[in-house]
A and B are shown apart, each in its own frame.
Chain A
Amino acid sequence: MSSATPLLEIDKVALHFGGLAAISDLSISVNSGEVLAVIGPNGAGKTSMLNLVTRVFDASRGSILFKGEDIARLPRARIAHLGIARTFQNIELFDAASVLDNLLLGRHRFGAGAWWQQVLRTPALTRREEAHRARVEEVIEFLDLSPWRNAPVAGLPYGVRKVVELGRALCAEPEILFLDEPASGLNPEESRDLAFWIDDIRSDLGITVVMIEHDMALVNAVADRVICMAQGRVLAQGTAAEVQAHPDVISAYLGA
């Protein structure tokens, strides 16, 4: 494909739970600036792949290179600091906090000042908080979240919660953004909004997007490249049309 080195390269990675192989010999590379969709039947190992990259699970074999650095053994909390952000399949928001605080938490990797500054609330810290707040407001503007700004997340409609989670990941200003089934549970209108946003995230914010998704309409609308996974390995990759026409993919979905 492209001659430049990929932004993220998953190389011959395996993941075992006891004797069960969730992922075996998986190799995926993500190019800078693309929207990559990962599809595949349930249990194909898509979310496991994402959990490997974000260090929720330990890979039993292989390497994961992000901008040339192997991140497969890094501590879990380091990943965000490299510029990798994600959302979760079953929304993981900070329920008791407001939308604003959730988004501000997205800014965590840029630092919040020394503890003594926080205790004393020094002018420098106030300025820093204001700078964070300004960036958060940009995201609120971008995703149309202003009606909910001060509402506690717990009471929000499902669709809004999904958008808040996307916003929180954007506040971390990642280089690569992983979306785990962003459209699941959304109504068609919300799905359409999402398609526009993903497009803007890539072209306006310059963020590479990897999206695990079942909704083929969304995939067709935004993905530059599609990878189909089944049983822990890559089955086919290419454009959306190519992958959907691939005989292995069809048989994987039909369960032949």
Chain B
Amino acid sequence: MRFDYHTRYRQGFALLRHRSDWLSYGLLAAALLALPMLASTYLVGELGYVFILCIASMGLMALTGFTGQVSLGHASFVAIGAYAHAWLMAQGVPFAASLPLAALISAAAGLVVGIPAIRVSGLYLAMVTLAFAIVVEQIIGMWRGVTGGYMGMMVETPQLLGLSLGSPRVFYYVCLFVAALVLLALANLMRSGIGRAFTGVRDSEAAAYALGIEVNRVKVGAFGLSAGITGLAGGLMAHHIGYLTPDAFTLLLSLDLVLMVVIGGIGSLRGAILGAVLISLLPNAVAALKSLLPAAMARQTGLEIFVAGLVLALFVLFEPTGLNGRWLKLRALIESFPLYRRDMFRRQKTYMKSERNR
């Protein structure tokens, strides 16, 4: 059983409140820093990709998790970030300048998509983002002069201060660094005024207005922020893929990102990261599973997508708060031992509530 004893307010809003937090997060950081020395090149490359997905998933979380605006088209911002970055580098812009610029371009696109959010919300907004993603995918295919169309486009090797960042081990650190930076920035933002305004707009627009929150600005701004972060992930992903074609950024990637956010747990950055890790490991898990299955089943394609659907369905049905919710329950169990009761997190019975007039 642990009791919090605070003598100053700032202890209450520290990111790491307990000594045990410092210890466990420190160990995690040390392990992540040491890993490239120990693991195989393939594994290091894959983990770098996991970090990229973490960034993209945090980007979507900033939008869907914190302001409650569902986007079914976030792959378009990954694509915009990736192509903008690759194109800028091809024009001779150095890596360190091109990556933030690509994020800004993606953020600008996000602001444009966010403008309809002033007028429409909920499923309608989700449809706008979906439509936008389809349009972007087609435009990338058609705009041969810049994107190389369906033929694709080479991405140059990233360089910083004359050093190549191309090798998987070095690039791993780049991805880790950017992911940590994004995590820290978002965590700070979400525990400050802007983060509170986000949740305010998500939970009750009427009350948000009544407290003086510029709801429309927050909504559009959230789109810009989210698209910028996702575009950053796109820029890194361009290097991971190495050769860009439109079919790397289809609806399936958008849905994967939504999956990460939902399975991770809406409204939590930890959830975004846990979700990204789980979803990116799923194909490997399924591959491992196949060796256990009878050959007739293992040969079939479709198992992977079936398992992804199954996992999502189980989470929506039985753990709507996602991996983060599971984590919090586990922690509560440990911290309040032996006083923990099953009912501490019991869900209230809910009734059909119409959202037609929202």
Nearest Cβ distance between residue A174 and chain B, in whole angstroms? Answer: 10
Asked if residues B207 and A92 are in contact (CB atoms below 8 Å), the reply is yes
Asked if residues B196 and A104 are in contact (CB atoms below 8 Å), the reply is yes
13 A-B Cβ contacts within 8 A? Answer: A56-B206, A77-B215, A80-B209, A86-B210, A96-B202, A112-B194, A118-B195, A119-B185, A119-B189, A130-B9, A133-B9, A134-B9, A172-B211
* Interface residue SS majority, chain B: helix
- Which residues does chain A contribute within 8 Å of B200, judged by CB atoms? 94, 97, 105, 108
Asked if residues A88 and B267 are in contact (CB atoms below 8 Å), the reply is no
Nearest Cβ distance between residue B124 and chain A, in whole angstroms? Answer: 21
What is the CA–CA distance of A172 and B185 in the complex, to the nearest angstrom?
27
Asked if residues A118 and B215 are in contact (CB atoms below 8 Å), the reply is no
- Which residues does chain B contribute within 8 Å of A115, judged by CB atoms? 189, 194
What is the CA–CA distance of A222 and B195 in the complex, to the nearest angstrom?
38
B197 sits at the interface (CB 8 A)? yes
What 1/0 mask marks residues of chain A from 132 to 143 whose CB sits below 8 Å from any chain B CB? 011000000000
- Which residues does chain A contribute within 8 Å of B204, judged by CB atoms? 92-95
Interface, chain A (partner B; CB < 8 A): 54-56, 75-81, 85-86, 88, 92-97, 101, 104-106, 108-109, 111-113, 115, 118-121, 125-126, 129-130, 133-134, 155, 168, 172
Asked if residues A80 and B212 are in contact (CB atoms below 8 Å), the reply is yes
* Contact for A109 among B9, B194, B212, CB less than 8 A: B212
Among B202, B210, B348, residue most surrounded by chain A Cβ atoms (within 10 Å): B210
Given A97-B203, A108-B197, A119-B185, decide whether A77 and B192 contact each other with a Cβ distance below 8 A.
Answer: no
- Which residues does chain A contribute within 8 Å of B9, judged by CB atoms? 129-130, 133-134
B318 sits at the interface (CB 8 A)? no
Asked if residues B209 and A76 are in contact (CB atoms below 8 Å), the reply is yes
What is the CA–CA distance of A170 and B19 in the complex, to the nearest angstrom?
36
Asked if residues A77 and B209 are in contact (CB atoms below 8 Å), the reply is yes
Nearest Cβ distance between residue B191 and chain A, in whole angstroms? Answer: 8
Asked if residues A112 and B203 are in contact (CB atoms below 8 Å), the reply is no
Asked if residues A118 and B10 are in contact (CB atoms below 8 Å), the reply is no
What is the CA–CA distance of A120 and B192 in the complex, to the nearest angstrom?
11
What is the CA–CA distance of A219 and B315 in the complex, to the nearest angstrom?
49
- Which residues does chain A contribute within 8 Å of B351, judged by CB atoms? none
Interface, chain B (partner A; CB < 8 A): 8-10, 12-13, 185, 188-189, 192-197, 199-200, 202-204, 206-215, 267, 348
- Which residues does chain B contribute within 8 Å of A109, judged by CB atoms? 211-212
What is the CA–CA distance of A190 and B193 in the complex, to the nearest angstrom?
32
- Which residues does chain A contribute within 8 Å of B202, judged by CB atoms? 94, 96
Asked if residues A94 and B194 are in contact (CB atoms below 8 Å), the reply is no
| Inter-chain pairs besides A101-B196, A108-B193, A111-B193, 8 sampled, C-beta below 8 Å | A80-B210, A92-B207, A94-B207, A109-B211, A112-B196, A130-B8, A133-B12, A172-B212
- Which residues does chain B contribute within 8 Å of A85, judged by CB atoms? 210-211
- Which residues does chain A contribute within 8 Å of B188, judged by CB atoms? 118-121
- Nearest opposing residue in chain A for B185, CB measure: A119
What is the CA–CA distance of A249 and B200 in the complex, to the nearest angstrom?
40
Among A93, A112, A168, residue most surrounded by chain B Cβ atoms (within 10 Å): A112
Asked if residues A93 and B203 are in contact (CB atoms below 8 Å), the reply is yes
- Which residues does chain A contribute within 8 Å of B215, judged by CB atoms? 77
- Which residues does chain B contribute within 8 Å of A168, judged by CB atoms? 207, 211
Asked if residues B197 and A79 are in contact (CB atoms below 8 Å), the reply is no
Among B188, B197, B348, residue most surrounded by chain A Cβ atoms (within 10 Å): B188
What is the CA–CA distance of A88 and B210 in the complex, to the nearest angstrom?
10
Asked if residues A101 and B212 are in contact (CB atoms below 8 Å), the reply is no
- Which residues does chain A contribute within 8 Å of B211, judged by CB atoms? 80, 85, 105-106, 108-109, 168, 172
- Which residues does chain B contribute within 8 Å of A56, judged by CB atoms? 206, 209
What is the CA–CA distance of A7 and B236 in the complex, to the nearest angstrom?
58
- Nearest opposing residue in chain A for B190, CB measure: A118
Nearest Cβ distance between residue B100 and chain A, in whole angstroms? Answer: 14
Asked if residues A113 and B196 are in contact (CB atoms below 8 Å), the reply is no
What is the CA–CA distance of A122 and B37 in the complex, to the nearest angstrom?
35
- Nearest opposing residue in chain A for B8, CB measure: A130
Asked if residues B207 and A88 are in contact (CB atoms below 8 Å), the reply is yes
Asked if residues A96 and B13 are in contact (CB atoms below 8 Å), the reply is no
What is the CA–CA distance of A81 and B207 in the complex, to the nearest angstrom?
14
What is the CA–CA distance of A69 and B204 in the complex, to the nearest angstrom?
28
Asked if residues A112 and B210 are in contact (CB atoms below 8 Å), the reply is no
Asked if residues B192 and A121 are in contact (CB atoms below 8 Å), the reply is yes
What is the CA–CA distance of A118 and B193 in the complex, to the nearest angstrom?
8
What is the CA–CA distance of A55 and B210 in the complex, to the nearest angstrom?
9
- Which residues does chain B contribute within 8 Å of A96, judged by CB atoms? 199, 202-203, 267
